């Protein structure tokens, strides 16, 4: 057994003139949650399709769980669970029938199939709705069912294309917990895509950032946030005026300051600049209620990474 | 095989699984027309006429045509195709599961209509005593029906593989079936006079012609299925 769950070398895929993915070289160890971050159209879904052998690469190669995607994709699919771009549920059928169907596809014995279905639907709070036709469900409920389907056969590797899209915050947190546990306790490798850096930060041991089909960085999320350079703080309070904002923007150590409702978002060169900003605001008459570390948005990381490109 | 059955079962569930009558009116109307109305209109000849086998052998083809367009184009349209292709199921299991489901469906509806026809005629004409299809007719219907259904299924899957929507697949398949039906007739019609003469004077009996036709159909079916198997490429199904 190789120690790498996924390993790609110069993987490329073109659609006509569009370079959906360019020269992806990536190594993902087993048993971790890997986050693939990128804006719309950056090649995340294309990468998943290539790794599952659902698309042939234009050039380059990839090994998943030790199997080549060109010659042995069936072995990869046998050991993987997926939630793709579309949840792929049979909407004319009930939730239980959907899982039962896939249980049969994976040749799970009837009793085990029923038990696993019950376990997953209960965990995801869908058990009471098991007899309902899926067509009438909300997007988030369908998403949860599709995740249950991906985990049904206890795969070694799970691909999740934007798993928390459409989930309410409570459900998103619950799902993240579930995925963390799965990875920690059962050693399952999870490859997920997201637009959300905060999600990647909370969940992933390793993050890859793609833009326009190019891999810009691979690093643990903490390091990735640091690449933005500087720190961000979020200050809430009352009495903010335009002159105050102008004053902040002119202050040494501040790279950018803007208001977002009652919240003031200030980007600084260094943590050491925080006291001077707070002092300046207080003396200008701003009534501070709280000062917090701001999480860098994906956009910022992108800008930093793209600007750093040669 | 187990996997193909699992796929076929899924197709059946999707086709018939929804509770209630919704979406099943077509099948019911069909069974009523071929199992009750037509037998009542024709009386015992509906069962005893020797040409009845020819009429019936078209029925499974027609029934397959109504469902096969959905095989891949439908899954593509409803965004379930990719997830299905991402399972452990082999290409053959998916392909033959889908073809098998369509054939089984057409066979079942045909059988129900045939049986209902016998019941109807015998109930309506009780005084004439029991009438049944002859063994030869039943065999012919089964064989011709199966071979025709297989051919339409193969062509339908080929078209469905390449179509973006069910509607598009259905339109193309309708065209293909018209060509399929008109082709042999035109062929015989425009056959050089010498050949036509030779055919007419060859002294072949009806059975021999049927046997010849069926052998030809078997060969065409085998060719069509081989072609479908070759054209089914997982890596090409998503990027249409
Ligand atoms: N089947 C296809 N045919 C043609 N072009 C495609 C196809 N699939 C993807 N592309 C193109 O490849 C590029 C990458 O697409 P991809 O779906 O991988 O992006 P993504 O990162 O998943 O985006 P999103 O966040 O919107 O899901 C896009 O420019 C897209 O238009
Ligand atoms: Mg995508």
Q: For residue range B82-116, list pLDDT tens digits in order.
A: 999 999 999 999 999 999 999 999 999 999 999 99
Residue ranges in chain B whose pLDDT is less than 50 = none
DSSP assignments along A80-124, one per residue:
EEEE-SS----TTSBHHHHHHHHHHHTT--HHHHHHHHHHHHHHT
Average pLDDT value for chain A: 88
Whether A294 contacts A233, CB under 8 Å: yes
* A143 and A192 belong to one structural domain: yes
Number of structural domains (chain A) is 2
Question: What pLDDT does residue B18 have?
Answer: 61
What average pLDDT does this structure show over A225-237?
Answer: 74
**Percentage of chain A modeled with pLDDT above 90:** 54
* A66 and A207 belong to one structural domain: yes
Return the H-helix or E-strand segment holding A222: helix A221-226
Whether A230 contacts A58, CB under 8 Å: no
Cα separation, A217 vs A209, whole angstroms: 5
Question: What pLDDT does residue B181 have?
Answer: 78
A149: pLDDT confidence band, cut at 50, 70 and 90?
Answer: very high
Question: What pLDDT does residue A15 have?
Answer: 93
Q: For residue range A7-61, list pLDDT tens digits in order.
A: 999 999 999 999 999 999 999 999 999 999 988 899 999 999 999 999 999 999 9
**Percentage of chain B modeled with pLDDT above 90:** 38
* A203 and A267 belong to one structural domain: no
Cα separation, A66 vs B57, whole angstroms: 51
Per-domain boundaries in chain B: 2-166+184-239
Residue A75 contacts B where some CB pair is shorter than 8 Å: no
Q: For residue range A258-287, list pLDDT tens digits in order.
A: 888 888 888 887 777 888 888 888 888 888
Question: What pLDDT does residue A169 have?
Answer: 86
* A273 and A185 belong to one structural domain: no
A236: CATH:
3.30.70.980
* A121 and A103 belong to one structural domain: yes
Q: For residue range A74-116, list pLDDT tens digits in order.
A: 999 999 999 999 999 999 999 999 999 999 999 999 999 999 9
Which ligand does the CA of B82 lie closest to? 1
* A140 and A289 belong to one structural domain: no
Q: Which atom of ligand 1 is nearest to the CA of A55?
A: 1
Cα separation, A245 vs A63, whole angstroms: 52
Name which of A53, A84, A97 is nearest B234 (Cβ-Cβ). Answer: A53
Question: What pLDDT does residue B87 have?
Answer: 96
Measured by CA distance, the residue closest to atom 18 of ligand 1 is A43
Ligand 2 centre distance from Cα of residue A122 (Å): 29
* A89 and A106 belong to one structural domain: yes
What residue of B is the nearest CA neighbor of A75? Answer: B88
Q: Which residues of A touch B237 (CB under 8 A)?
A: 54
Domain range enclosing A255: 226-308
Cα separation, B60 vs A143, whole angstroms: 39
* A11 and A144 belong to one structural domain: yes
């Amino acid at each position: 057994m190789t120690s790498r769950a996924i390993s790609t070398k110069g993987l490329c895929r073109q659609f006509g003139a569009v370079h959906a993915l360019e020269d992806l070289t990536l190594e993902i160890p087993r048993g971790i949650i890997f986050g693939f971050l990128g804006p719309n159209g950056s090649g995340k879904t294309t990468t998943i399709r290539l790794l599952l052998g659902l698309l042939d690469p234009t050039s380059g190669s990839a090994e998943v769980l030790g199997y080549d995607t060109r010659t042995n994709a069936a072995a990869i699919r046998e050991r993987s669970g997926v939630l793709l771009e579309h949840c792929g549920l049979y909407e004319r059928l009930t939730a239980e029938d959907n899982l039962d169907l896939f249980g049969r596809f994976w040749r799970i014995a009837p009793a085990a199939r029923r038990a696993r279905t019950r376990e997953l639907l209960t965990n995801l709070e869908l058990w009471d709705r098991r007899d309902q036709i899926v067509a009438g469900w909300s997007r988030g409920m369908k998403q949860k069912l599709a995740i249950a389907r991906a985990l049904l056969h206890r795969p070694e590797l799970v691909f999740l294309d934007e798993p928390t899209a459409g989930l309410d915050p409570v459900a998103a947190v619950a799902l993240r917990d579930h995925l963390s546990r799965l990875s920690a306790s059962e050693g399952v490798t999870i490859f997920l895509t997201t637009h959300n850096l905060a999600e990647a930060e909370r969940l992933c041991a390793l993050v890859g950032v793609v833009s326009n089909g190019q891999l810009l960085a691979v690093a643990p999320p903490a390091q990735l946030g640091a690449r933005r350079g500087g720190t961000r703080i979020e200050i809430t309070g009352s009495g903010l005026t335009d002159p105050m904002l102008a004053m902040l923007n002119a202050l040494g150590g501040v790279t950018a300051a803007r208001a977002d409702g009652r919240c003031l978002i200030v980007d600084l060169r260094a943590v050491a600049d925080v006291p001077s900003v707070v002092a300046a605001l207080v003396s200008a008459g701003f009534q501070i209620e709280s000062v917090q570390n701001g999480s860098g948005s994906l956009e910022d990381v992108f800008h930093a990474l793209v600007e750093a490109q040669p | 095989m187990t996997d193909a059955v699992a796929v076929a079962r899924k197709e059946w569930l999707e086709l018939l699984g929804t509770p209630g009558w919704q979406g099943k009116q077509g099948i019911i109307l069909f069974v009523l027309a071929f199992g009750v109305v037509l037998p009542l209109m024709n009386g015992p000849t509906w069962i005893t006429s020797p040409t009845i086998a020819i009429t019936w052998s078209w029925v499974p083809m027609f029934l397959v045509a109504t469902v096969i367009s959905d095989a891949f184009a439908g899954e593509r349209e409803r965004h379930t195709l990719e997830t299905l292709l991402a399972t452990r199921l082999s290409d053959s299991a998916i392909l033959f599961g889908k073809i098998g489901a369509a054939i089984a469906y057409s066979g079942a509806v045909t059988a129900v209509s045939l049986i209902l026809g016998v019941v109807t005629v015998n109930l309506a004409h009780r005084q004439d005593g029991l009438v049944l299809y002859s063994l030869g007719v039943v065999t012919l219907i089964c064989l011709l029906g199966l071979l025709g259904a297989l051919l339409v299924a193969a062509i339908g899957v080929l078209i469905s593989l390449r179509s973006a929507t069910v509607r598009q697949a259905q339109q193309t398949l309708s065209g293909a079936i018209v060509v399929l039906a008109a082709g042999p007739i035109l062929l015989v019609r425009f056959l050089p006079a010498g050949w036509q003469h030779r055919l007419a004077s060859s002294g072949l009996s009806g059975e021999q012609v049927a046997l010849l036709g069926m052998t030809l159909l078997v060969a065409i079916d085998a060719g069509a299925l081989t072609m479908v198997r070759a054209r089914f490429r997982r890596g090409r199904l998503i990027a249409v």
